[in-house]
Amino acid sequence: MKFFTVLAIALAVSSVQSTNWAVIVAGSNGYWNYRHQADSCHAYQILKNAGYNPAQIIHFAYNDIANNSQNPIPGKIYNKPDGTDVYAGCVIDYSGAAVNSANYLAVLKGQSSASLPKVVNSTSADKVFLNFTDHGAPGLIAFPNDYLYAPDLQTALQYMKDNNRYSKLVYYLEACESGSMFTSLPTTWNIYATTAANPTESSWGCYCGSQATVGGINIGSCLGDLYSVVWMEDSDKLTAGETLQAQFQVILNLVTQSHPQQYGDLTWTSQLVKDWINGPGPISAEDQKAHELRTKSLVNSRDIKLHYLINRHANEMSENTMNELNEEIMMRKLFDDIFTGIQTLHADVPLANDTDFDCYKDIISFFEAQCGRFTEYGMKYMRSFYDICANKKEVVVDAKKMVMESCTAGKLF
């Protein structure tokens, strides 16, 4: 009898997890963005250990980090100092050019095709967990070659709601200005979202510089993002009885350089974390030691590439690394110079909470056609276009003129 009781419990747990779906995204490429794929592979390991069916975890990652020529530990990726290899067994379903916003939205909607065979085929009885880690700006999050705008994400989430594709949905979003993606999220959709930052501030990388070390070898790039590392290391512990709300309090307590936010339906955050994202637990790492390591090595996400290039040149002292560092410094100055003038066009208006997204998309596309793609550093200046399109559309023509004058010689970035 005891055997059958245990078996029944095991089957019940299996049944619960078999109705969970997840989509994980690392939206960047480039070795200086090591941390994003480290985050996403760690998230994959957590979900797999939590009992998710691997066929129901869909993972987007460019997959250019583990075997990158700059990786001093080839074939492996780490998300914390002297941690475990999170790349081992990390299944990536869509990589390279397939990591784009159109594919992501199609996967969420369950729209399979020859190039997208694995999508979310959830029902009204299923729970869905979404995790995105990358760069952001007001009202958008970035993919390697395009952007996903807040209204388009919300339209996809509404499609999922209207077509009964989940019972409850949780979204953990790591990006600068990430709060701006959910300011219009209704509270009646059974969606709970939490973000690394509010709508106007940067997120932060951690385990950077001298802390980015595994077995005495410095990885040369930040190992994680602070918000992501905090929620994942908390999930690794498998704390009995911890609720989603309690985990958010952990995030608030440990992520102090930005202001994590909650959006959507907060009426069911009393649900247990273990029903969504708990790992194998228990872990042996000392919480205080991990916290000290994180806080010693924080870098603003907008500046991580610069820090990476400085450290790389300090280690190699080559003409190539000096040139790359100088190019980054010059690029940052070009963005500063271009937007010094543009910012005068909207200096008399407050920061906007929402914008005209048709205008916003148009002026971003115009800028990139003239000057080149926004860099991680340059994305902080998208705020100017966001505010202009919200409050002073009459100066859009002037802003475009300034862009054309700044980039008369062609694309700069």
DSSP assignments along 239-278, one per residue: -TT-BHHHHHHHHHHH--SS--EEEE--TTTTSBGGGTT-
Cite the residue boundaries of each domain of the chain with CATH code 3.40.50.1460: 2-300
Question: What's this model's pTM, rounded to 2 decimal places?
Answer: 0.93
- pLDDT of 16 above 60: no
124, 114 contact by CB (below 8 A): no
219, 71 contact by CB (below 8 A): yes
Verify whether residue 135 is a known catalytic residue.
yes
Residue 240's pLDDT is 78
**Which tops the pLDDT comparison, 208 or 12?**
208
Q: Which CATH number fits domain 2-300: 3.30.565.10, 3.40.50.1460, 1.20.120.1630, 3.40.50.1820?
A: 3.40.50.1460
Band (pLDDT 50/70/90 cuts) for residue 287 is low
- pLDDT of 82 above 60: yes
DSSP assignments along 16-48, one per residue: HHHTEEEEEEE---SGGGHHHHHHHHHHHHHHH
Verify whether residue 291 is a known catalytic residue.
no
45, 37 contact by CB (below 8 A): no
Alpha carbon distance 109, 119 (integer Å): 8
Alpha carbon distance 172, 278 (integer Å): 14
Select which of 41, 90, 176, 208 is catalytic: 176
Mean pLDDT (the chain, rounded): 91
Q: Are strands 147-149 and 140-142 parallel, antiparallel or unpaired?
A: antiparallel
Select which of 135, 346, 371, 389 is catalytic: 135
Residue 14's pLDDT is 41
Residue 239's pLDDT is 78
Alpha carbon distance 268, 271 (integer Å): 6
Q: Of the candidates 221, 166, 211, which has an alpha carbon nearest to the alpha carbon of residue 191?
A: 166
